[in-house]
Structure 1
Amino acid sequence: MKPSHFLFVAVSLGIALPVHSAGPIIGRATVIDGDTLEIKGERIRLHGVDAPESWQTCEDGDGGTYRCGKEAAFALDQFLAESRPTRCEFVERDRYKRFVGVCFRADGPEVNRWLVRSGNAVNWEKYSKGAYVGAEQLARARGAGIWRGKFQLPCQARAERAGQEPAC
């Protein structure tokens, strides 16, 4: 069967074909949470970083708490709005079949690195292989974002909420 016939049959039968398999995705990004975007209907997990969950709270360093997950998502949305569109380069598909990638604003800055440097996410060593260690050290030294107080690593918070052992 010719590729064009396959596409016709797939569309006729309503079979969902992947929007992109391994190429970059470029478009207006919608923030799902602090480390997940959506572009053109494709969920994109930001590679090598882990942001607080939307329900997660952190200590602010002055004795109070705040919704650090919501703050991370809001900061990401503001950062992306400064220069559109967003381009995400494919790294892999995760166990949830999400596109995992490294993303960039139209004017060049890497989104993943900015998230860590701004203190809105941590370097997830398990996946980043140290790519964002320097950015995390800078955020810590400045007391930026989650580093201004105490917080639980997002992977630990997710595991605790699910009643599981953390795998981070």
Structure 2
Amino acid sequence: MPALPLLAAAVIACTAPKVHDGDTLRCGADRVRLFGVDAPEVRRGKTPAEPLAYEARDLLASLTRGRVGCRVVDQDRYGRHVARCWSDASPDINAALIRSGLTSEYRRYSKGAYAAEEAKAKAARRGLWASGAPARPSR
């Protein structure tokens, strides 16, 4: 059997994972990139953080305080698991982050899976979509 179907069937579970930024966490030794979520980048070396980067990171941390589960859908070029996650705080962490307006949908990979959540954030002018919010670099 090919490795990808086995990988895609995997579930990663942990309690209170370490949160790196608004779209990446670590469950034990497993690095997880949230499927379809594009968060502003936190500071890296001399490169300053993008607007709302730490707010997105803090929201992800609050959504993952208890038990967390992630269903792996792919692996990225950095070897991280790409997954849809849920927790005691949210049945769909990925959607909650996008709906908050602190992250956007990464349509290049998600193909519109979270379009409704992003539309809600835009309509409510939350986070990245707020009037007067600084523009993010295009990706």
Tell me whether 1:93 sits opposite 2:75 in the alignment. Answer: yes
Q: Any gaps of 5 or more consecutive residues in structure 2?
A: 1-5, 44-48
How many matched pairs?
125
Aligned counterpart in structure 2 of residue 126 of structure 1, from 93, 108, 111: 108
Query: Alpha-carbon deviation of 1:130?
Result: 0.3
Point out the structure with the larger strand share: 2
Structure 1 residue identity aligned to 2:40: P
Other-structure match for 1:146? 128
Question: Runs of 4 or more off by more than 3 Å in structure 1?
Answer: none
In the TM superposition, residue 145 of structure 1 has moved relative to its aligned partner by: 1.7
Question: Identity of aligned pairs, percent?
Answer: 36
How far apart, in 1, do the equivalents of 2:20 and 2:34 lie? Answer: 11
Q: What residue identity is the alignment partner of 1:127? A: Y
Q: Does 1:46 align with 2:46?
A: no
C-alpha offsets along residues 70-105 of structure 1, whole Å, 9 cap, x if unaligned? 111011111222xx2100001111111111100011
Instruction: State the TM-score, normalizing by the size of structure 2.
Output: 0.82
Alignment of 1:149-164 (within 5 A): 149-153=133-137, 156=138
Using the alignment, how far apart are the partners of 1:104 and 1:46 within structure 2? 11
More helix by share: 1
Equivalent pair of 2:7/2:74 in contact (CA under 8 Å) = no
Report the alpha carbon displacement of residue 108 of structure 1 after superposing the two structures with TM.
5.1
Gaps of 5+ in 1: 1-19, 59-67, 157-167
* Cα deviation, residue 106, structure 1: 3.1
- Take 2:113 and 2:7, find their aligned partners in 1: how far apart are those partners? 24
Residue aligning to 1:31: 19
